[in-house]
Structure 1
Amino acid sequence: MNVVESVRMSWRAITGHRLRSVLTVLGVVIGVGSVITFVTLGASLQAAIVGDVATSSPDIAATVGPADGPEGGPGSTESIPVFTEHDIEQLQGIDGVDAVIPTGQVGIAGLEFRDDRIRWPAVTATTAASFDEDEFAAGGPFTAGTNETVLNPAAARMFEENVSAGDEITVEFAENDSRTLTVAGVLNESTGFAAVGGGGGTPAIYVPTDPFYTTTAESPTTGERERAYPQLTVRAASYEQVGAVETPARAYLQNESDASQLKPASYEISLTTNDALVEQIQSILSTFTNFITGIAVISLLVGAIGIANMMLVSVTERTREIGIMKAVGATRRDVVQLFLVESIILGVIGSVLGTLVGLAGGYAAAQLIDLPVSFAPEWFAIAIAVGVGVGIVSGIYPAWDAARTDPIDALRHE
């Protein structure tokens, strides 16, 4: 029996039991659709986050933390001010370094804007180099040595009235130390991976290190008390120079810096580049996507069982037909081919429809959470292959069971 004839007869058997066939295919549709939806959503999430990181400034973040932290890096968010002004000067002298940006926290008691007072624990002290002009929705960076501040969008919205560039807010640093700061600028919504994160839903308020940051430590090199910070960001002049900057910066910080002498013995200095951050994010998202996809694959197993069950029922119902086929010369191979083709058709139909459902579901989910839609084309081919595989695996036993039917007993079957 040629393949075309097998397809024709199989299609006639499928359409002869429409409801049963639809319910059987539905299991495969749900399985494949779930896999494609989660894969598309994972690819979209990864593209959005990695895209933001990859297009951010060519930064190298220097932090200090326990040596037994994840992947040998800092394992705690505890702030230890060990990077001195001397360290900043030495790093600034490395070829290819565009800026060295310190970051630290300044404790406060509260904020006030137009008689609306709220309690707030801290503001972030940094330098104007943390911000690029295109990161601002309004205004611009603050100026060192002035009573100015920069707000992210969430901070600008946390009062009863929204704060705008040029407005003034009162910051209560201590019981008898309140200062009025002019809002130099408000960051835009998309800023989030600069030296200091400007985006996100958590309010963030930035002030210049001079005059607000007062944490100091005695420099082992100079013997003088200097401002000391828990984090530095070394910004290369270009992405091409990140590697050339990282090597001497790492060597200095880990071996010669004030930080290497001020940090606890059980702590280590860690440097993280954007590329390393991208790899970490990709690894985390891939693990998460694979886990969710694995759960969705269980639906495919249910679909395969559904096809196998239908084919076994079909063999029972068509016992007399099988006997007639064998009586007129059909071989075991012909019978196996007929039932395998039928199960493969069901699998392919389910995978094709499931792919379309998955694409629609992934697109809708990405739009719902405001992500740029990114598809994984290789999964479309995998879906079709899975459909064929499910059809073959599900149909092997029923086809073999049909092929070994004795023609005389089959003809007697009622």
Structure 2
Amino acid sequence: MDAREVFRMSWRSIRGHKLRSSLTTLGVIIGVAAVIALATLGASVQASIIGDVGGEEAQQIYVWAAPEGQQGAPGAGAQPVFSERDIDRIEEIEGVESVIPRGSVPTSGLRYGNDTVARSDVVAITPAYFDGAEFESGGAFSNGENEVVLNTAAATQFDQNVTVGDSISILRANGTGVNATVVGVLNGSASRGPFEGFASQPRVYTPTDPFYETSVEIDGENRRVYPLLTVVATGPDAVEPARDEMLRYLEDDSDAASLMPTDYGFSARTNEELLQQVQDLLNTLTGFVTGIAVISLVVGSIGIANIMLVSVTERTKEIGIMKAVGAQRRDVIQLFLVEAVMLGLLGALLGTPVGVGAAYIVAGYIDVSLTFPLEWFAIAIAVGVLVGVVAGLYPAWSAARTDPIDALRYE
């Protein structure tokens, strides 16, 4: 049978039962749309969290002390063990450009004018932390000054937006307050590293001096100690040698080694290693959720198989006439198989834009930029066609086995 005739007859059958065909195709549309939407959202969230690793970020090593074998976010369970002497010694290691200590200052809230918002802590950091940062206005603070840097979310959480030059009060957990001048507002509210997590939220940064006060007595004098360090290497090739040398120092001759509990160990992870863990987790979650969406496609395939079996019953006499005038089994199989494939392909083509639209709406709601995984688009359409093939095989085979004499007698 001519291929064009097969397509014409299959399309005529589909158009002749518009409502039934539409409901059958709807199952495939929903399945493909779910796969496309979830795969697109997964890729978008992953791109938003991870971004491109390069430049200075590829040269950073994140260091903390935590219980041996502990799993969790970078810095989880970290104890303040790194002294300023340790920081100076690490900066002397070949291949190390700078060391940025990080601590937390307990607070009860922030006050701007007559407006007070609750806040459990602010981040104590050094000015080098803001190297390469984009500021909406102002810039980094100076160590030793009562100055702060806010991100956009922190600057806009009061009744009136905070701007550079304004004064805010940092209310310490012990009940005292410190006035500080806002010298910079960062452009955006995204995380600036794994130690901050990956969620966009209000963040307030202060200089370690004079705000950070966590200290211990070492060799008869009080020294500040920090729970987290960011070590910046001079280049990507210097990361591994610098990390190895730093760990040798920390484990053998550091204040941190003497302060660290016996069941603790040092973790020194590069940005790429940490982001790879997050990427693996997101890939697993995306694959799992997308796999659930594939169930909708299975349901769609059952719908196509069901409607094709009904179609075989309805067209028994037509099949008998076709065989009586010389149609072969392969012609009958081809006719019903093409009809099933057309339903699957139609559902895939309609489900793709529906899935993109759904992903666009959700991405706008959670405030992430869309990233389109084009391979999933091709997979979804291919699966739609495959659904049609698989769902149409048995009905087509059943139609081909129809006895022409019995078919002509069928009423």
- Does the Cα contact within 8 Å between 1:131 and 1:194 map onto a contact in 2? no
Structure 1 residue 338: deviation in Å? 1.6
C-alpha separation in 1, matches of 2:23 and 2:43: 30
Alignment of 1:164-175 (within 5 A): 164-173=163-172
Unaligned 5+ segments in structure 1 are: none
Alignment of 1:6-405 (within 5 A): 6-51=6-51, 57=57, 58-70=59-71, 77-132=76-131, 134-173=133-172, 177-194=176-193, 197=196, 201-219=200-218, 224-405=221-402
- Does the Cα contact within 8 Å between 1:69 and 1:75 map onto a contact in 2? no
C-alpha separation in 1, matches of 2:360 and 2:173: 51
| SS of the residue 2:76 aligns to | coil
Sequence identity percentage: 52
Greater mean deviation of Cα atoms: 177-186 or 258-267? 177-186
Any idea what the Cα deviations from partners look like across 1:325-371, whole Å, max 9, x if unmatched? 22222222222222111111111111122223223333343344332
CA distance 1:18–1:161, change in 2 (3 Å): closer
Amino acid at match of 1:155: A
- Does the Cα contact within 8 Å between 1:351 and 1:384 map onto a contact in 2? yes
Structure 1 residue 310: deviation in Å? 0.8
C-alpha separation in 1, matches of 2:332 and 2:24: 21
Greater mean deviation of Cα atoms: 12-21 or 247-256? 247-256
C-alpha separation in 1, matches of 2:75 and 2:56: 24
- Does the Cα contact within 8 Å between 2:64 and 2:79 map onto a contact in 1? no
Structure 1 residue 264: deviation in Å? 1.3
CA distance 1:189–1:350, change in 2 (3 Å): same
Any idea what the Cα deviations from partners look like across 1:168-221, whole Å, max 9, x if unmatched? 2233447685432222222221552248749955333222222222222344xx
- Does the Cα contact within 8 Å between 1:130 and 1:195 map onto a contact in 2? no
- Does the Cα contact within 8 Å between 1:100 and 1:233 map onto a contact in 2? yes
Amino acid at match of 1:3: A
Structure 1 residue 397: deviation in Å? 1.1
Any idea what the Cα deviations from partners look like across 1:280-335, whole Å, max 9, x if unmatched? 22112212211221221111111101110111001001111111222222222222
C-alpha separation in 1, matches of 2:103 and 2:185: 20
Unaligned 5+ segments in structure 2 are: none
C-alpha separation in 2, matches of 1:331 and 1:195: 66
C-alpha separation in 1, matches of 2:261 and 2:73: 12
Greater mean deviation of Cα atoms: 189-198 or 273-282? 189-198
CA distance 1:238–1:135, change in 2 (3 Å): farther
Amino acid at match of 2:98: A
Greater mean deviation of Cα atoms: 26-35 or 75-84? 75-84
- Does the Cα contact within 8 Å between 1:110 and 1:172 map onto a contact in 2? yes
C-alpha separation in 1, matches of 2:111 and 2:317: 88
CA distance 1:183–1:225, change in 2 (3 Å): same
C-alpha separation in 2, matches of 1:121 and 1:365: 31
- Does the Cα contact within 8 Å between 1:74 and 1:268 map onto a contact in 2? no
Amino acid at match of 2:20: R
Structure 1 residue 115: deviation in Å? 3.9
- Does the Cα contact within 8 Å between 2:75 and 2:228 map onto a contact in 1? no
C-alpha separation in 2, matches of 1:176 and 1:363: 46
Count of aligned pairs between the two proteins: 410
Deviating 4+ runs (over 4 angstroms)? 52-56, 73-76, 174-177, 194-201
C-alpha separation in 1, matches of 2:189 and 2:236: 21
Amino acid at match of 2:88: E
- Does the Cα contact within 8 Å between 1:333 and 1:403 map onto a contact in 2? yes
Greater mean deviation of Cα atoms: 235-244 or 6-15? 235-244
Amino acid at match of 1:340: L
Structure 1 residue 103: deviation in Å? 1.1
Structure 1 residue 94: deviation in Å? 1.8
Greater mean deviation of Cα atoms: 386-395 or 360-369? 360-369
Let me know the Cα RMSD of the aligned residues. Answer: 2.6
C-alpha separation in 1, matches of 2:75 and 2:229: 16
Greater mean deviation of Cα atoms: 3-12 or 14-23? 3-12
CA distance 1:335–1:145, change in 2 (3 Å): same
Structure 1 residue 393: deviation in Å? 0.9
C-alpha separation in 1, matches of 2:294 and 2:173: 58
- Does the Cα contact within 8 Å between 1:130 and 1:196 map onto a contact in 2? no
Structure 1 residue 257: deviation in Å? 2.8
CA distance 1:356–1:177, change in 2 (3 Å): closer
- Does the Cα contact within 8 Å between 1:170 and 1:178 map onto a contact in 2? yes
